[in-house]
Amino acid sequence: MLYLPANSGDVFVVSGTDPGTHNLGIGDLYVDIHTLEIRSFEARTLVATKMMNDDDLLVVNHGHTYARTYSHKEALTEHFRRIRPSAIACEDAFFNRRTPGAYAPLLKSIQSIREAVIAYNPYMKFNLYEASVIKSAAGAVGWSKKAGTNKSAVYDALLKNPEFKVPSRTPLSTLSEHAIDSLAIAFTHLQYMRS
């Protein structure tokens, strides 16, 4: 079910989040409620170290990883309350044999995003998508599960996508990989909503 905030007009927001304990991408698609076409978009990267200090009591009492994910959760909750998305999606955790130590922090990041969604609206579904589904929905070429991701493939796909040739609050060329991925995640959920 599509949740529309009061006074939303003819536009609703689909938010995408690219999880990470250091850098977390957040992308928002402003979508026409009648045609489901993207009217505008914006994205940014939340850098945890810029939101906290090493002498912060959160760091002292709970450690750096928790402090970073908590900082992300707080910033996301504030962001969601400000823009009032109707849907929120996230890239699901994946286990990479070459970097097995990255899996647990990724799960912690996803949990902090889930907590931000619950703080914003405890009844909203938290949509998770596998990386391969996101890359495919974005039209990224040069990517395979076996080879791993080609970091520019998603950027190139969104740059060529006519749906992203709309007025933007943040031009694609200025965005980090995390912000680009968050837009692709939001776009994946929008594609799901259209089907």
Looking at per-residue confidence, does 148 or 119 come out higher? 119
pLDDT tens track for 96-143: 888 888 899 999 999 999 999 999 999 999 999 999 999 999 998 765
pLDDT tens track for 60-83: 898 888 999 999 999 999 999 999
Q: What does the block give as tokens for 176?
A: 């980090």
- Residue 146 has a pLDDT of 46
Dihedral sign (CA 126, 191, 158, 149):
positive
pTM above 0.85, yes or no: yes
Q: In the chain, what percentage of residues exceed pLDDT 90?
A: 73
Point out which residues pair with 47 in neighbouring strands: 23
pLDDT at 147 over 60: no
Give the type of residue at 37: E
Q: Which domains does the chain have, with CATH numbers?
A: 11-194 (3.30.420.10)
